[in-house]
Amino acid sequence: MFTSNPFAELSANIPVAVMQGYIILMVLLVIVGTILDMMHKKSAKYFFLNAEKEKKNAKRQVGVGEKAVIAASVLLNEVATSGEFCNPRRRLSHLLTMWGTIIFVATTAILIFGYPTPETPAPAILPQLWHIGALMLAVGGYWFWFFIRVDVSAEGLTWWRLERADLFILSLLATATFALLWSFTQYRGISGWSTLFLVLFALSGVVLFGGVYWSKFAHMFFKPAAAFQKRVTRADGSREDLPFDYDPRDPEVQRKFPDLAEYMGKNPPNMGPGIRRERPSHY
Ligand code: HEM
Express each pLDDT in 36-81 by its tens digit. Answer: 999 998 988 888 898 888 888 898 999 999 999 999 999 999 999 9
In a domain, 161, yes or no: yes
**What residue's CA is closest to ligand 1, atom 6?**
98
pLDDT at 278: 75
Residue nearest atom 17 of ligand 1, based on CA coordinates: 94
Do the domain assignments include residue 229? no
Protein residue closest via CA to atom 11 of ligand 1: 94
Question: For residue 194, how far is its CA from the centre of ligand 1 (angstroms)?
Answer: 31
- When pLDDT is cut at 50, 70 and 90, the band that residue 151 belongs to is confident
Average pLDDT in the chain:
93
Is 60 exceeded by the pLDDT of residue 243? yes
- Top mutation candidate among 86, 144, 220, 230 for ligand 1, by most atoms within 8 Å of CB: 220
In a domain, residue 173? The reply is: yes
Judgement on whether residues 11 and 137 belong to the same structural domain of the protein? yes
Residue 168 in contact with ligand 1 by CB distance below 6 A = yes
Task: Name the pLDDT band for 156 (thresholds 50, 70, 90).
Answer: confident
- Residue span of the structural domain in which 263 resides: 247-274
Dist. CA 152 → ligand 1 center (Å): 17
Residue 130 lies in a domain: yes
Q: Which CA distances in Å does 10 have to 16, 112, 186, 273?
A: 9, 10, 9, 56
Same domain (yes/no): 23, 97: yes
Residue 201 included in any domain: yes
Residue 275, classified by CB atoms within 10 Å of its CB into exposed (0-12), middle (13-18) or buried (19+), is exposed
Question: Do 145 and 30 fall within a single domain?
Answer: yes
How many domains are there within the chain?
2
Task: State the distance from the centre of ligand 1 to the C-alpha of 219, rounded, in angstroms.
Answer: 6
Per-residue pLDDT for 275 more than 90? no
Give the contacts of 190 (CB within 8 A, at least 6 positions apart): none
Tens digit of each residue's pLDDT (9 = 90 or more) over 7-38: 999 999 999 999 999 999 999 999 999 999 99
Residue 281 lies inside a defined structural domain of this protein: no
The reply to whether 93 and 147 lie within a common domain is: yes
Give residues with Cβ within 8 angstroms of 126, minimum separation 6. 5, 107, 110, 111, 115
257 and 143 in a common domain: no
Together in a domain, 260 and 211: no
Would 24 be classed as within a structural domain?
A: yes
Pocket test for ligand 1, best of 43, 103, 223 (most atoms within 8 A of CB): 223
Ligand 1 pocket mutation, candidates 97, 145, 219, criterion most atoms within 8 A of CB? 219
My answer on whether 180 and 255 are in the same domain is no
236-263 residues labelled b (16+ CB within 10 A) or e (exposed): bebbeeeeeeeebeeeeebeeeeebeee
State whether 176 and 41 are in the same domain.
yes
- Quickly count: other Cβ atoms within 10 Å of residue 68's Cβ: 10
Please report whether residue 158 resides in a domain: yes
Q: CA 2, CA 184: separation in Å to the nearest integer?
A: 9
Q: Within this chain, do residues 164 and 255 fall inside the same structural domain, yes or no?
A: no
Q: Would you state the pLDDT for residue 65?
A: 97
